[in-house]
């Protein structure tokens, strides 16, 4: 009887062992399948190749003595508008906002669409135009006017006919600057989120914030961020994730791109954290693609002895999660020169349209097709 009990116990232990082994094997198989699927879906973007469709400049060399800080918007399928500031030199009183329209695959002669005029009628320099087309088809031209980026103020013009005519220039409400360099995003509820920033008068503080408005610009709300005095960040760009989270990527003085996240449509944001992306204190831009992945245009170098060093290389990077990025194309790579302040959008036909400063003498225009 005692032996029989022992035998039964052994059989029970063996059965339990084989059952446990079966469960572990099943779990391991499921984990492998998940990892395989995750790896496959993740690699879809990381294995992306690039086909260059267009690589040109928007206007003939010599059109302007100096130009910088371009922006681009799709007016209708296949028709685009780009804008930038130009004049004798950055910060000169004759610097205005100029624009050109692309249709039938040709950029038209640039025209000036905004001047910097103060309340006394004096002309002041214009800065950093941002074009944005809302869901209601209103086209906005945001820009800044002032003697320098520490004392400028926000301005806007609107168009309902794709830039053929514009409203009179209008100052934004006091202490609102609008999108400081990069395009806004619009949420499903109609709210327009403008990524913005401030440079203090003594130049010691660089801080980002968000400005939320509606399609009529009738109400404005400012979202302040928790400031980290050890970090100087400006000129954020916004990415929208499939799960609804928002991510800001920011230019910094710390040789890295910084990021912050929001899970409530931009009302509250996390503390700034480092990415693994270098940044030589130069402007960036990014866009959420129609498949949920993300594209970033940036200078992948560190700061040099002067502000313009590190802007001689310009890369395109892609990511599935906004955290891990892979360079997939190099727009520029020269020993000297400045290729900076990119703007990027995805067109209705899914092609990628990029503009950026070409040595302060021209605006480069590049169209890429992503092959995944």
Tell me the CATH number at 76.
2.120.10.10
Judge if 41 and 71 occupy the same domain: no
The rounded average pLDDT for each run of 10 residues, N- to C-terminus, in the chain (372 residues) is 40 41 36 29 65 98 98 98 98 98 97 95 97 98 98 98 98 98 98 98 95 97 95 98 98 98 98 98 98 98 87 98 98 96 98 98 98 92
**Tell me, what's the pLDDT at 21?**
40
Sequence-distant (≥ 6) Cβ neighbours of residue 10 within 8 angstroms: none
d(CA 308, CA 226): 29
Question: What range defines the domain where residue 39 resides?
Answer: 1-47
CA distance to 239, 250, 291, 321, per residue, from 242 (Å): 10, 21, 9, 10
**Beta-strand relationship, 246-252 and 123-124:** unpaired
d(CA 204, CA 229): 9
**Tell me, what's the pLDDT at 16?**
45
Nearest to 237 by CA among 213, 265, 264, 258: 258
From 29, 47, 65, the end of a domain falls on: 47
Judge if 203 and 349 occupy the same domain: yes
**Tell me, what's the pLDDT at 305?**
83
Judge if 286 and 311 occupy the same domain: yes
The number of angstroms, rounded, from the C-alpha of 155 to the middle of its chain's C-alpha atoms is 21
Judge if 139 and 40 occupy the same domain: no
Neighbours of 215 (CB within 10 A): 15
Judge if 341 and 354 occupy the same domain: yes
Judge if 215 and 166 occupy the same domain: yes
Judge if 55 and 38 occupy the same domain: no
Judge if 27 and 166 occupy the same domain: no
* Residue 185 · residue 201 · CB < 8 Å: no
Sequence-distant (≥ 6) Cβ neighbours of residue 149 within 8 angstroms: 127, 199
Number of domains in the chain: 2
Judge if 286 and 320 occupy the same domain: yes
Judge if 12 and 129 occupy the same domain: no
Judge if 200 and 249 occupy the same domain: yes
Judge if 13 and 102 occupy the same domain: no
**Tell me, what's the pLDDT at 45?**
65
């Amino acid at each position: 009887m005692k032996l029989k009990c022992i035998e039964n116990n052994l059989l029970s232990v063996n059965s339990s062992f084989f059952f446990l082994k079966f469960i572990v094997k099943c779990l391991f198989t499921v984990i492998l399948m998940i990892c395989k699927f995750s790896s496959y879906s993740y690699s879809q973007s990381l294995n992306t190749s690039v086909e260059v469709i267009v690589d040109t400049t928007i206007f003939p060399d010599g059109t302007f003595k100096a130009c910088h800080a371009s922006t681009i918007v799709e007016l209708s399928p296949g028709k685009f508008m780009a804008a930038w500031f130009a004049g004798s030199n950055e910060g000169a009183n004759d610097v205005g906002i100029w624009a050109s329209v692309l249709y039938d695959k040709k950029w038209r002669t640039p025209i000036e669409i905004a001047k910097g005029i103060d309340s006394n009628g004096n002309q002041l320099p214009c800065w950093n135009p941002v074009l944005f087309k809302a869901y209601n088809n209103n086209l906005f031209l945001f820009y800044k006017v002032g003697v320098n980026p520490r004392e400028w103020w926000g301005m806007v013009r609107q168009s309902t006919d794709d830039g053929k005519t514009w409203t009179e220039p209008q100052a934004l409400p006091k202490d609102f600057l609008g999108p400081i360099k990069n395009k806004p995003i619009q949420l499903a509820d109609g709210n327009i989120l403008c990524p913005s920033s401030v440079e203090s008068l003594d130049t010691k503080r660089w801080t980002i914030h968000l400005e939320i408005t509606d399609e009529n610009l009738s109400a404005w709300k400012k979202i302040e961020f928790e400031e980290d005095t050890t970090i100087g960040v400006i000129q954020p760009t916004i990415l929208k994730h499939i799960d609804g989270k928002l991510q800001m990527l920011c230019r910094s003085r710390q040789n890295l791109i910084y990021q912050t996240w929001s899970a409530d449509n931009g009302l509250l944001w996390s503390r700034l954290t480092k990415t693994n992306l270098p940044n030589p204190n130069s402007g960036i831009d990014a866009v959420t693609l129609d498949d949920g992945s993300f594209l970033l245009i940036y200078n992948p170098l560190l700061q040099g002895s002067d502000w313009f060093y590190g802007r001689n290389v310009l890369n395109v990077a892609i990511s599935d999660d906004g955290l891990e990025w892979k360079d997939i194309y190099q727009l520029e790579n020269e020993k000297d020169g400045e290729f900076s302040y990119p703007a990027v959008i995805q067109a209705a036909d899914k092609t990628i349209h990029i503009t950026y400063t070409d040595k302060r003498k021209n605006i480069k225009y590049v169209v890429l097709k992503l092959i995944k």
